[in-house]
Amino acid sequence: MEKSYVVGIDIGGQTAKIGIVDARGTVLAQTAIKSNDTQSHEVFIDNLCNAVKSLVEKNNIVMDQIRGIGVGAPNANYYNGSIENAVNLTFGGMKIIPFAQLMTEKIGLPVRLTNDANAAAMGEMTYGVARGMKDFIMITLGTGVGSGIVVGGQLLYGHDGAAGELGHVTMVRNNGRICGCGKSGCLETYTSATGVARTARELLDETDRQSLLRNIPADSISSKDVFEAAQQGDELAKDIFKFTGNMLGQALADFVAFSSPEAIVLFGGLTKSGDLIMNPVVESLNANVMPRWKNKIKVLFSQLKESDAAILGASALAW
């Protein structure tokens, strides 16, 4: 039987999105399961395999038509198919999970694994705003901050498969925020969705400024709440985005110095804030980059659906 399809999976801190993809790069059907409802990777893999089988059956496809499965996940090692010390995953933690091997044994199909940001970069390079680009950096702004670095048309993996952890460059050397990776002051702790919420709580605690955010219990504030307040003209919420964008722009200026990309592509939930995040990022980037690159590096939002980019990128591993 002709193997006409592959499955792409994007594992995030809250959900795992699953899609069936054909040879033209069309996502034919999607589903999702929670990724934060178990601390057991065995249980999660069982749930994932069952969801794949169910999606295939509902779309009148048989498993024999599936060529393989590509998976994008935080802290995934492309070389050995493991998820390593993925502290942003409930079932992860400081351990090494032979994910591809375990899933292959469970579902009976070849499984290949890469970092979730690398998967998003592959999807963007093939189908999105980075189509035709040979040198660009993908920055994913979600529960954490990930990155996929493309140099000369190839993803940069490094000697051990772990290259591209730009979310863990140190932005604050002294008394920085504690990061789940074990370091302090990481970019991720300031410019992820959770970092935005943390900035909001700190500002509300440190000042007596009026804000719509004071109507929300501090522990419940999310980046979405900050965005909605900023949209309504809340000055403190706007300042949170300025702080976040400035921090990210400073980091991007350093990233430009080592790979000289044509563009930086921003992807993930935080990009839905539009100009609130884009304007301070671009301003900060150009204020901090070397003169030779000032106003020359494009900063772009992904043009693919948030789910499609990572699913398509991950699926490319399975062809």
pLDDT for position 304: 82
Tell me the per-residue pLDDT of 193-216, one tens digit each, with 9 for 90 and over: 999 999 999 999 999 999 999 999
Burial 167-177 (b: 16+ CB within 10 A, else e): bbbebeeeebb
Gyration radius of the chain's alpha carbons? 20
Question: Which region, left, alpha or beta, applies to residue 114 given φ > 0 means left and ψ of -120 to 50 means alpha?
Answer: beta
Burial 89-104 (b: 16+ CB within 10 A, else e): bbbbeeeebbbbebbb
Q: Are residues 115 and 141 in the same domain?
A: no
- Cβ burial of 61 (10 Å; 0-12, 13-18, 19+) is middle
Q: Are residues 99 and 240 in the same domain?
A: no
Better-predicted residue by pLDDT, 111 or 181: 111
Q: Are residues 48 and 93 in the same domain?
A: yes
Q: At residue 201, what are phi and psi to the nearest 5 degrees?
A: -65, -40
Q: Are residues 139 and 111 in the same domain?
A: no
pLDDT for position 319: 87
Q: Are residues 76 and 148 in the same domain?
A: no
User: Does the pLDDT value for residue 307 go beyond 70?
Assistant: no
Q: Are residues 209 and 232 in the same domain?
A: yes
DSSP letter at 287 equals H
Q: Are residues 108 and 137 in the same domain?
A: no
Q: Are residues 139 and 224 in the same domain?
A: yes
- As for how many domains the chain has, the answer is 2
Q: Are residues 116 and 10 in the same domain?
A: yes
Whole-model pTM? 0.86
Tell me the per-residue pLDDT of 274-287, one tens digit each, with 9 for 90 and over: 999 999 999 999 99
DSSP letter at 176 equals P
Residues in Cβ contact with 1 at an 8 Å cutoff, skipping those fewer than 6 apart: 62, 64, 65
How high does pLDDT run on average in the chain? 94
- Cβ burial of 153 (10 Å; 0-12, 13-18, 19+) is exposed
The whole domain housing 141 covers 131-302
User: What CATH number does residue 70 fall under?
Assistant: 3.30.420.40
Q: Are residues 293 and 312 in the same domain?
A: no
Q: Are residues 49 and 110 in the same domain?
A: yes
Q: Are residues 118 and 197 in the same domain?
A: no
Structure tokens at 239: 């300042």
User: Does the pLDDT value for residue 219 go beyond 80?
Assistant: yes
